[in-house]
Structure 1
Amino acid sequence: MRDKMLVLENGKTYKGRGFGSEQEAIARIVFNTEMVGYQEVLSDPAYYGNIVVMSYPLIGNYGLTDEDYESKGIHIGGFVIREYNDTPSNFRFTQKVSQVMEDNNVPGIAGVDTREIVKIIRDEGEMIAMITDAASDVEECIKKMKEYKEPKNLVSKVSVKSISYARTRNPKHTVVAIDCGLQRSLLSALTNAACNVIIVPYNTPYEVIENHKPSGVLISSGPGSPFDLECIVETIQKLKGTIPILGIGLGHELVALSYGAKIEKARAGKRGANISVKNLVEDKVYIVEQNNSYFVNEKSLKDSKLDVIYKNVCDGTIAGLINEDDMVVTSQFIPKQKGFVLNKFIGFMDKIALDENPIINRYIHEKPTN
């Protein structure tokens, strides 16, 4: 594999060993702080197109496993790591990281000072970066980055194109999931909670969602800016108050917009599985998985009818919201199965599942017969 070079928008360069695809990549560079779970990062649709820097130094040592993907394929635009291990030691592994990256045309660079790169992004903010051949002219690379235009509406790249279903045995509820980049782990949490899930494209109209007669609606996490998704905001405005709503990640931001709150761009975002958040209801601190570049402006919530239920421990930014009357709950992070957020959502659906409502089974809606 040829030597590679990482070039940052600020002119900083780092040379290292290439792995994965040989192709050149230009994209926004972000960092992730988790110590394990690189497969989940590679396959999380919320990272679509990003060049991802892993702060943990060793990557590839346990390979990739078919059962651990968060979605079909991988979605990142490039991978920057300190040390790459191409001889995995794991009885479950089925593929090597470099092999899958090559198959998906994703370039990587190893042997660079990832600690320094993370500090630059943290202090200066996210920026455009480029992974290229080590012999490339730096001035020409910077020129290409200045001419680069970031794509809009990344959700359209990762959302399903047609309706699909996730079934469970003896379901209690039917949830329509608006797919902005739905993770398999969240889908499994819902099916394990006795929910059939109908997964619909991100731009599905309100009327189509209503025709499914769902017990609740999920707006999933996903990549890019919430300001590109006015269609989902309008759908939420029609749904809220009539049906339980769960907003996760990008969905959390879209719910906030639907209530008139303001969303702001973060300098460096929060990405990792070691993010500390405090539940203000339980007065407990949890370590969660999070991936976001935007946050809800707390002052803008004054007249929104949304209450804060989670805050980030480190900087005090909002990590969760609720409106009990409208049966709406959100989290900026990925909720745990049987955790507070998911239990609230299930509780809202239980609340409206009265005896006279139609019995919901896997395929049809029937009224009980005496």
Structure 2
Amino acid sequence: MKAVLGLEDGTTLKGKGIGAEGATQGELVFATPFIGYEEALTDPSYKGQILMFTYPLIGNYGISHEVMQSDNIKAEGLVVRSACSNPSHKKSDESLEEFLLEHDVSGIEGIDTRMLTIKIREHGTMKSALLVGDKNEKRAVELAKNQPDITERDLIPKVSCEKGYRIKGEGPRIVVIDTGVKRNILKSLEERGADLLVLPHDSTTSEIKKHDPDALFVGNGPGDPSRAVGPIRAVKNFFGEIPIFGICLGHQIISRALGGNTYKLKFGHRGANQPVRDIESGKIYITSQNHGFATDPDSLDGTDLKITQTNANDNTVEAIKHESQGVFAVQYHPEAFPGPRDSIRMFFDQVVEKAGGNFA
């Protein structure tokens, strides 16, 4: 099946279509892990983005529904060098293309992903459009250009739960503000006994308070953190009353709520081997990351937020703390599945302990 990928700068690449026929738009981003494509495709943080893998062969172990991080594919489209049509794994439920078709998502294979990755590294992420079942290059470029920038899109409402729900536990009660939280974050808290109340992103202070939480948690999610009005308000209102924790977008939301600022990275961090340096101990954690925005370190001056970890590659902020008020947030994904898991105990044990639980 014919397909074409168009970029806002006029670049077009023709390839073979996989998945559903149709047209899709999004910010083209690249991710570097060799494995974990099921988790990435279903990660709500990729809403609004067309996901390209740098590893040349994707789909070789099929799709296992048990590792999905949400109930469906959240990426707007998929770009790969080669999509395996004959996967082999005992836990495979279906092939990559069957998965795309099941969720009405378009993809393209057989194009030069190395060239595209270099282009994005040099010029930054780009607006793009993918046509499957159509090879109209002019239309693809027009669709790429004529879409709002990801900083102008309200994506959190598209991935947040509509109604709150509970995951019962015997430990501290933690309210999770759902900005697109991954299943493995909830699982990591549940395994440590936390009593979880997952609430919509726009929950009011009174709606949160009626659950009498021991702590507030803000997870990952898509888009510009400056547009997360409800979660920012919640962090401001509960700061100083209960401990507050965050991962990825949640880290950025907490930074903004407590006086800091954020900015858009040139091409983001999306991969499974990002080194994070703990400033106090000097220890290096190898982490999984997926973010296009970061906390501005200079903006934290005078906020009482302390930078505790930085990225060993580019020195961007990776963790913040407010010791006296029980705030702790990380930019990376300690819950990452399939890994690495260097930081899972370091982070989640602290969260449950500070919330008042016993995770041992």
| 1:347 maps onto 2:348 in alignment | no
**How far off is 1:320 after superposition?**
0.6
- Give the whole-Å Cα distance in 2 for the aligned partners of 1:265 and 1:338: 26
The residue that corresponds to 2:287 in the other structure is 288
| Residues 135 and 347 (structure 1), Cα distance of their counterparts in 2 relative to 1, 3 Å cut | closer
- Which residues in structure 2 correspond to 1:69-108 (within 5 Å)? 69-108=68-107
| 1:8 maps onto 2:14 in alignment | no
Post-superposition Cα deviations, 1:148-198, rounded to whole Å, max 9, x if no partner, equal: 235621010000000111124xx2211110000111111110011111111
The code of the aligned residue for 2:163 comes to S
- Asked if 1 retains the 8 angstrom alpha-carbon contact of 2:179 and 2:219, the reply is yes
Provide TM-score, normalisation by structure 1. 0.91
- Asked if 2 retains the 8 angstrom alpha-carbon contact of 1:3 and 1:15, the reply is yes
The code of the aligned residue for 2:292 comes to S
- Asked if 2 retains the 8 angstrom alpha-carbon contact of 1:328 and 1:345, the reply is no
Secondary structure at 2:325 match in 1: coil
The code of the aligned residue for 1:29 comes to L
- Asked if 2 retains the 8 angstrom alpha-carbon contact of 1:7 and 1:129, the reply is yes
Post-superposition Cα deviations, 1:288-342, rounded to whole Å, max 9, x if no partner, equal: 1111111111111111110011101110000110001110000011124753222
| 1:155 maps onto 2:161 in alignment | no
The residue that corresponds to 2:205 in the other structure is 206
Structure 1 stretch displaced more, 278-287 or 129-138: 129-138
Secondary structure at 2:220 match in 1: coil
The residue that corresponds to 1:176 in the other structure is 175
- Give the whole-Å Cα distance in 2 for the aligned partners of 1:275 and 1:294: 15
Post-superposition Cα deviations, 1:253-311, rounded to whole Å, max 9, x if no partner, equal: 01000111111111111111221111113211111111111111111111111001110
- Which residues in structure 2 correspond to 1:248-287 (within 5 Å)? 248-287=247-286
- Give the whole-Å Cα distance in 2 for the aligned partners of 1:127 and 1:29: 5
The residue that corresponds to 2:339 in the other structure is none
| 1:29 maps onto 2:35 in alignment | no
Secondary structure at 1:86 match in 2: coil
The residue that corresponds to 1:362 in the other structure is none
- Asked if 1 retains the 8 angstrom alpha-carbon contact of 2:4 and 2:136, the reply is no
Q: Pairwise CA RMSD of aligned residues?
A: 1.6
- Give the whole-Å Cα distance in 2 for the aligned partners of 1:152 and 1:107: 21
- Asked if 1 retains the 8 angstrom alpha-carbon contact of 2:225 and 2:253, the reply is yes
Give aligned-pair identity as a percent: 29
The residue that corresponds to 1:68 in the other structure is 67
Secondary structure at 2:299 match in 1: helix
**How far off is 1:104 after superposition?**
1.6
Secondary structure at 2:268 match in 1: strand
Aligned length, in residue pairs: 349
- Give the whole-Å Cα distance in 2 for the aligned partners of 1:341 and 1:144: 42
- Which residues in structure 2 correspond to 1:325-340 (within 5 Å)? 325-336=324-335, 338-340=344-346
The residue that corresponds to 2:311 in the other structure is 312
| 1:302 maps onto 2:301 in alignment | yes
The code of the aligned residue for 2:159 comes to V
- Asked if 2 retains the 8 angstrom alpha-carbon contact of 1:322 and 1:329, the reply is yes
- Give the whole-Å Cα distance in 1 for the aligned partners of 2:87 and 2:133: 27
**How far off is 1:87 after superposition?**
0.9
Segments of structure 1 that go 5 or more residues without pairing to the other structure are 354-370
- Asked if 2 retains the 8 angstrom alpha-carbon contact of 1:15 and 1:134, the reply is no
Secondary structure at 1:156 match in 2: helix
Q: After the TM superposition, list the runs of 4 or more consecutive aligned residues in structure 1 that deviate by more than 3 angstroms.
A: 133-137
**How far off is 1:133 after superposition?**
4.6
The code of the aligned residue for 2:64 comes to T
- Give the whole-Å Cα distance in 2 for the aligned partners of 1:229 and 1:73: 22
The code of the aligned residue for 2:355 comes to M
Secondary structure at 1:161 match in 2: coil
- Asked if 1 retains the 8 angstrom alpha-carbon contact of 2:7 and 2:145, the reply is no
**How far off is 1:119 after superposition?**
1.1
- Give the whole-Å Cα distance in 2 for the aligned partners of 1:114 and 1:147: 23
The code of the aligned residue for 1:331 comes to V
| Residues 216 and 137 (structure 1), Cα distance of their counterparts in 2 relative to 1, 3 Å cut | same
- Give the whole-Å Cα distance in 1 for the aligned partners of 2:119 and 2:2: 23
| Residues 11 and 4 (structure 1), Cα distance of their counterparts in 2 relative to 1, 3 Å cut | same
Provide TM-score, normalisation by structure 2. 0.93
